[in-house]
Amino acid sequence: MSQHQIFPSILTADFLNLKKEIEMVNNSGADLLHLDIMDGVFVPNLTFGFPVIRKIKSVSEKPLDVHLMIVEPDRYLEDYKNAGADWLTVHYETCPHLHRTIQRIRELDMQPAVSVNPHTDVALLESVLPDLNMVLIMTVNPGFGGQKFIEASYRKISKLQKMIRDAGTDTLIQIDGGVTEKNISKLINAGVDVFVVGNTIFAADDPHQVIANLKKST
């Protein structure tokens, strides 16, 4: 893939006007819509469940990138497929049988991805890289939007990029947390393919323009 992609995260959207926010994304140059699913156990926050995902799916013209920050994700993989997930990300830290989980996601006709928390070494994913469409490096501690980018993430991005190159796969590198118009160019040059962006977009006076600016970055 030659051009980076932008996945707006509705975690920081205006939930009283969610349909309007999603329609803004529909009319923008964004590539997918990112949904953070939190259970209050794996991360210290709660977001939303299947009924809300189904409603979002009915409005969104972009595919849904669903990021599960939950314990025991294997119990619900089929439910997320039925709710409308196109891409499904599970956390390395919550999957004791990671390869099996990835295979099941693919069997359900979703694009499988695995996320790692800031303290987790990407080297732990080496054996499953050929099975993944994408790896999500958390560049903030998961749970809340609007956090500051963790600078040590650059080393993890470089390490993962080398692993992908050595494995000869076309696995995408995605990051989530602290992405701004100021640091996106450096991150593109570091090797990031996919950017999850929340607060930078939805807190802006002109979110549509911000998406355009992020897409144009080089």
Q: Which residues are catalytic?
A: 36, 176
User: Residue 192 burial (CB < 10 Å; 0-12/13-18/19+)?
Assistant: buried
Query: Does residue 7 sit in helix, strand or coil?
Result: strand
Handedness of CA 116, 121, 124, 129 (dihedral sign): positive
Helix axes 18-26, 50-59, angle to 10 degrees: 40
Secondary structure of 63-116 as H, E, C letters? CEEEEEECCCHHHHHHHHHHHCCCEEEEEHHHCCCHHHHHHHHHHCCCEEEEEE
Distance CA 96, CA 218 (A): 38
| H or E, element range at 201 | helix 199-202
Q: How far apart are CA 87 and CA 127, in angstroms?
A: 20
